[in-house]
């Protein structure tokens, strides 16, 4: 099957495949849209079952980055890259250097940054061979801490701001005493849990890897839940912070939460799930809106003079953007996901 015939192709501008035999690198870069500026999107390393699964993921993620940049009001387009392999067993510095050469081959059409399975040290290996690697020379931190190039703190803070706005709108209350089920205790999920705990929320956490869960139980007083049970808990908020498609035809009937607001990309397995959430009275925070803190961070680090305060202020705009989406969705009797898509398309589709 040609990539042009792929169900997720959606008029991508550029899709490139790369294999480096010496390092074992097999990777894909997808650039969805550059009408607002060069494409930016993280590099993900994951043990995909096959290249078809990897292609589907990178196409969906790349498109999501276009919408994310537009809704975050930054002059960037959307792209993404994926490396096929287990980051815990197969990743090597040589592979990361080969990835840098791959990114460089696009000549600045695409900038990459950190994502699942990739660390700042990996980005530094890539940067040996490309100037189009973001997150290696960080200057700003939203909380005034020493930045290390990892955008996860900004992503988590933005999701926290979004959860707070969603609870205020959907439940008409503060975060004090709100019950939250977090699926995924990685770099973002754990930091989100810290923010929520500090705001008085009660946490239930799950992950396929035990380390983050054990840490959250010990340090945050969270309750550990089996991964297969986390989506069906009777809680106020469900926060998907793992991989995509967590909200699908099989899991939707099990969800009892009245608000879904989390960090994961592509949370809805298909667009119509958004409509079904409306029917069930569940408020959904469109993922690429609520998790935009990372791309906002990278934009401030890479694209011009900024400050810690400017970065924080920009991230906090996520809350106001979500409330605008919720209000428009109610006025139009439409799914929040469809409203967000329409708003993003209004911003990037007609640019020259």
CB 230 within 8 A of CB 181: yes
Task: List the catalytic residue out of 63, 68, 80, 109.
Answer: 80
Separation of alpha carbons 245 and 269, rounded Å: 4
Tokens of 119: 């660390």
Those residues with Cβ within 8 angstroms of residue 102's Cβ, 6 or more apart along the chain or in another chain? 16, 18, 20, 25, 27, 29, 81
Q: How far is CA 60 from CA 63, 64, 82, 132, 269, in A?
A: 5, 6, 11, 22, 10
Neighbours of 177 (CB within 10 A): 10
Residue 80 annotated to the active site = yes
Separation of alpha carbons 323 and 285, rounded Å: 9
Report the relative pairing of strands 43-46 and 223-224 from DSSP bridges.
unpaired
Residue reference for tokens 């139980």: 217
Q: Which of 152, 189, 158, 191 is nearest to 317 (CA)?
A: 158
Active site residues: 80
């Amino acid at each position: 099957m040609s990539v042009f015939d792929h169900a997720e192709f959606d008029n991508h501008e550029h899709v490139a495949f790369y294999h480096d035999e010496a390092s074992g690198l097999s990777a894909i870069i997808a650039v969805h849209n550059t009408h607002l500026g060069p494409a930016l999107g993280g590099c993900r390393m994951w043990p995909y079952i096959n290249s078809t699964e990897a292609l589907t993921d990178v196409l969906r993620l790349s498109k999501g980055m276009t919408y994310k940049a537009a809704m975050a009001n930054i002059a960037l387009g959307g792209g993404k890259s994926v490396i096929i392999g287990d980051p815990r067993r197969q990743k090597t510095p040589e592979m990361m250097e080969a990835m840098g050469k791959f990114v460089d081959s696009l000549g600045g059409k695409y900038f990459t940054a950190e994502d699942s399975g990739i660390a700042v040290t990996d980005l530094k290996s890539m940067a040996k061979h490309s100037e189009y690697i973001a997150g290696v020379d960080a200057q700003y931190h939203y909380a005034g801490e020493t930045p290390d190039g990892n955008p996860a703190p900004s992503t988590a803070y933005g999701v926290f701001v979004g959860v707070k706005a969603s609870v205020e709108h959907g439940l008409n209350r503060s975060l004090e005493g709100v019950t939250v089920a977090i699926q995924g205790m990685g770099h973002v999920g754990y930091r989100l849990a810290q923010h929520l705990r500090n705001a008085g929320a009660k946490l239930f956490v799950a992950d396929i890897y035990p380390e983050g869960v054990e840490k959250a139980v010990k340090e945050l007083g969270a309750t550990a839940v089996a991964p297969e049970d986390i989506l069906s808990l009777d809680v106020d908020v469900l926060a998907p912070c793992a991989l995509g498609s967590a909200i699908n035809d099989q899991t939707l009937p099990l969800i009892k939460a009245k608000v879904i607001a989390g960090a994961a990309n592509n949370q809805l397995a298909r667009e119509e799930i958004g409509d079904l959430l409306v029917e069930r009275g569940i408020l959904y925070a469109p993922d690429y809106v609520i998790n935009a803190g990372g791309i906002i961070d990278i934009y401030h680090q890479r694209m011009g003079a900024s400050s810690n305060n400017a970065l924080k202020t920009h991230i906090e705009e996520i809350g106001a953007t979500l409330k605008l989406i919720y209000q428009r969705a109610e006025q139009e009797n439409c799914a929040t996901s469809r409203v967000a898509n329409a708003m993003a398309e209004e911003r990037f589709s007609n640019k020259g």
